[in-house]
Amino acid sequence: MSASSRIAVLGAGLSGLAAATKLVELGHEVTVYEARDRLGGRVWSETVAGVDRTYVIERGAEFVLDGYTTLREYCSTHGLNLVDTGMSYYIRKPADRPDVTTEAMASLGAQAALNAAAGSGARSVADVLSEVGVTGAAREALEARIEMSTSVRVDQVTAEQTLEHTASFTPGPSWRIGGGNQRLPIAMGEALGNRVRLNHLIEEVTQDDMGVAVTADGESERFDFAVVALPFGILNDRESPLLELPDWKVAALDHVVQGNAAKLHLELVEGPETSAVMSVSDRFWTWTAIAEDGQVAPVLNCFGAEIDHLRDLRIDEGPTEWATRVAQLRPDLPFADKEPVVTAWPFDPLSKGGYTAHGPGFMQEHADALEAPHGRLYFAGEYIDLEFAGLMEGALRTGERAAHAIDLATGS
């Protein structure tokens, strides 16, 4: 049993909550700082009153995919069920490129993934698509599909991990947590109890040989160690940094690409069939999915990615332009006369972006540097994990690893 230490956890998203949970299990004294008035960070569920029943929308992270073993374990611990959405995150019909089939996209995507795995890790997805010889409408559709999954351009993201995981074209089921994904961070926070401090905006983090000082809302408190589980956009803010980082850590951060994701939800008059349809030109996709009650929820979910296309959708001005284009893309759906809900993560001051991707040439050494402690500061977040970058599973896994690394550092 390691000696008990006082540890600050900065951020109550999934990575911070996983770190805090493990640290408490290991016998340490933990305080979690969260600037928002809710738990979960970019995992954010909201219950909406529809025409004939309520339903839940995911304003942040949504799909539970194959390989999410850690998330499934936490769900089991807290008595949460996974619901099969009845559609596949991996397969999306390119409505504005009718000559390109989903089968053709899957075949070309699989070929690109094989090429990526067999070659140099320094290549971008764009490089691999060129090697495979994809051109024309098929190239446009593949690029759109990948950019919607990574939330960055295809020339900005590494090919190997992207085509194997984040932008895989292999058909497979997709799940969500019944009642909303935020039920997991809420359950984790309830288990931590008064160790969690909501509405505590961190202003500065400093360290010396004796410990770490965390200043939030004008008050400073000292700890033995700290887990930095802040969003990448906050950690990587070079103009107003919260903490001082060494050059080797900054160099590793430079291999991460900030994604800029947004979501739109439009109520429907009635629940339709499940679907997954994308706009190649506008770089957004739409889907309808089964909810916890076993019925397709009466809502069209939309996700847009890549900052230039999001600007073209005018998300900084509200939902109007995007909703207009969605209606043009999905004339098959009966939209209700109700104001759409838009969530624009690039303009959220507490995240400064959506999830992240790894740039071309990103390797294990960069992941190791991102995760490595700097003095008494340990790091966790979806941007770190090599296999599950940008995903809820990556956030949870890195949080647990940070906790175990601190426990090891405390000695026995």
In this prediction, residue 166 carries a pLDDT of 67
**DSSP H or E segment with residue 284:** strand 284-288
**Cα–Cα dist 130/135, whole Å:** 8
Contact criterion met (CB below 8 Å) for 259 and 284: no
- List per-residue pLDDT tens for the chain, 412 residues long: 456 899 999 999 999 999 999 999 999 999 999 999 999 999 999 999 877 788 999 999 999 999 999 999 999 999 999 999 999 998 999 999 999 999 998 888 888 888 888 876 689 999 999 998 989 999 999 999 999 999 999 999 998 778 876 667 777 899 999 999 999 999 999 999 999 999 999 999 999 999 999 999 899 999 999 999 999 999 999 888 999 999 999 999 999 999 999 999 999 999 899 999 999 999 999 999 999 999 999 999 999 988 899 999 999 899 999 999 999 999 999 999 999 999 999 999 999 999 999 999 899 999 999 999 999 999 999 999 998 999 999 999 999 999 999 999 998 4
Residue 173 belongs to what H/E stretch?
A: none
Q: Return d(Cα 66, Cα 180) in angstroms, integer.
A: 18
- Please tell me the CATH code under which domain 6-41+182-257+355-410 is placed: 3.50.50.60
- Whose tokens are 């089991």? That residue is 76
Q: What is the pLDDT of residue 125?
A: 92
CA distances from 329 to 123, 211, 289, 335 (A): 33, 56, 17, 12
Give SS3 for 256: strand
User: 């759906």: which residue's tokens?
Assistant: 333
Q: How many CB atoms lie within 10 A of CB 149?
A: 25
Q: Which two tokens stand for residue 69?
A: 């073993």
**Contact residues for 208 (Cβ-Cβ < 8 A; gap 6+):** none
Burial of 2 (0-12, 13-18, 19+ CB in 10 A): middle
Q: Which two tokens stand for residue 49?
A: 């009153």
Please provide the size of the chain in residues.
Answer: 412
Residue 336's Cβ-count burial label (10 Å; 0-12, 13-18, 19+) is middle
Enumerate the domain spans of the chain: 6-41+182-257+355-410, 45-63+260-347, 93-166
